[in-house]
Amino acid sequence: MSNIEERIGAIPIWQGAVRWQALEGGLSNECFTVEDDSGKYVVRFGRDYPFHHVSREREIMTARAAHAAGFAPELVYGVPGIMVSRFIEARTCSGADMRDQIPRIAEFVRRFHRDMARYVSGPGFMFWVFHVIRDYAATLRAGGSRMSGELDSYLALSEELEAVQVPLPIIYGHHDCLPANFMDDGARLWLIDFEYAGFSTPMFDLAGIASNAEFSPDEAERLLQLYFNAVPDKSLRKAHAAMQCASLLREAMWSMVSELFLDAPGVDYVAYTADNLELLSKAVDQYRTDYGKA
């Protein structure tokens, strides 16, 4: 019996024989589909990652809140390190899917931001990407990262991007708006993976959607207009463009930190770092073309 089979079999909810299959795509967790006599589920193994500000207890709370609010599949079993969710027949979204249905995405995310705070509980966790970037830089320096020589330039860029943010209401956001975390069953959208969910402004989610799905400037502006139900002014557009850069910088630095601490099967963190730095370079060039350098 394999270690995975033992770990899955030890979860005390199964009815009858258990059949499992690995799911691909996780960058920091191990995920599997599991079927027993009662139905089909998704099992997710992960641990606390203090270096990424990830608490599995908080993630479990948020997953339950997101289901109660109508955004996520039901979490049928959750203890720190193990989450079992009810399987939904839905297609994982791609970047093209996100670009093709901007009105639907904007409405869904606006409802998530509006409703989630009424369902979450416990100490309030705040996600502010510029704090995360600063903390990642300290972690990378202390860990002797191969990228240590670039950290001062990353911090200078982060300060430039933070300086142009505009005041917005505090909402409860997802903060990991990769296309793969959106699922479409044909009738409605679902959202999964709540490791980084917490209080912030809407801007990081709106920027993450645009940067991760590689929106054009026109598509990004349409997302803002539909989300805010108003034509965005220059300061809002600039803040959003800057936050797209910050989103990519954070993702690249997430990968750099992961190089030091994680070893997920089949994941090449060095390549993932390089991919995100390339996207960041393009985004910064576009940002400075449109708005200049501070």
The tens digit of pLDDT for each residue in 4-24 reads: 899 999 999 999 999 999 987
**Residue 116 and residue 220 in one domain:** yes
Q: Are 132 and 51 in contact (CB under 8 A)?
A: no
**Residue 27 and residue 120 in one domain:** no
Mean pLDDT of 124-128: 97
pLDDT at 24: 78
The whole-chain average pLDDT of the chain stands at 95
Question: Which tokens hold the place of 115?
Answer: 């409703």
**Residue 74 and residue 202 in one domain:** no
Residue 4 lies in a domain: no
**Residue 70 and residue 181 in one domain:** no
Phi–psi pair at 32, nearest 5 degrees: -145, 150
Q: What is the CATH number of the domain that holds 212?
A: 3.90.1200.10
pLDDT at 237: 97
The tens digit of pLDDT for each residue in 84-97 reads: 999 999 999 999 99
Residue 2 lies in a domain: no
pLDDT at 266: 80
* Total number of domains in the chain: 2
**Residue 39 and residue 114 in one domain:** no
pLDDT at 25: 65
**Residue 26 and residue 52 in one domain:** yes
Distance CA 228, CA 189 (A): 20
21: helix, coil or strand? strand
**Residue 100 and residue 73 in one domain:** no
Side-chain half-sphere exposure of 238, counting CA atoms within 13 A: 18
Query: Hey, which residues does 175 pair with through a beta bridge?
Result: none
**Residue 98 and residue 140 in one domain:** yes
**Residue 23 and residue 153 in one domain:** no
pLDDT at 221 over 60: yes
**Residue 103 and residue 214 in one domain:** yes
Element (H, E) at 78: strand 75-79
- Grade residue 1 by pLDDT with cuts at 50, 70 and 90: very low
127 Cα distance to chain centroid: 11
**Residue 113 and residue 231 in one domain:** yes
Residue 57 lies in a domain: yes
pLDDT at 132 over 70: yes
Give the residue from 86, 108, 128 where a domain finishes.
86
Mean pLDDT of 116-120: 98
- Grade residue 292 by pLDDT with cuts at 50, 70 and 90: confident
Residue 3 lies in a domain: no
- Note down the domain range covering 48: 11-86
245: helix, coil or strand? helix
Mean pLDDT of 212-221: 94
Give the residue from 86, 111, 134 where a domain finishes.
86
The tens digit of pLDDT for each residue in 27-81 reads: 778 899 999 999 999 999 999 999 999 999 999 999 999 999 999 999 999 998 9
**Residue 142 and residue 44 in one domain:** no
The tens digit of pLDDT for each residue in 249-291 reads: 999 999 999 999 998 878 899 999 999 999 999 999 999 999 9
Mean pLDDT of 153-157: 98
Distance CA 61, CA 195 (A): 10
Q: What is the CATH number of the domain that holds 54?
A: 3.30.200
CA dihedral 3, 5, 10, 14 (to 10 degrees): 170
Question: Which tokens hold the place of 161?
Answer: 């991007």
pLDDT at 294 over 70: no
pTM score > 0.85 for this model? yes
Residue 97 lies in a domain: yes
Instruction: Look at the alpha carbons of 91, 82, 85, 252 in this order and tell me if their dihedral is positive or negative.
Output: negative
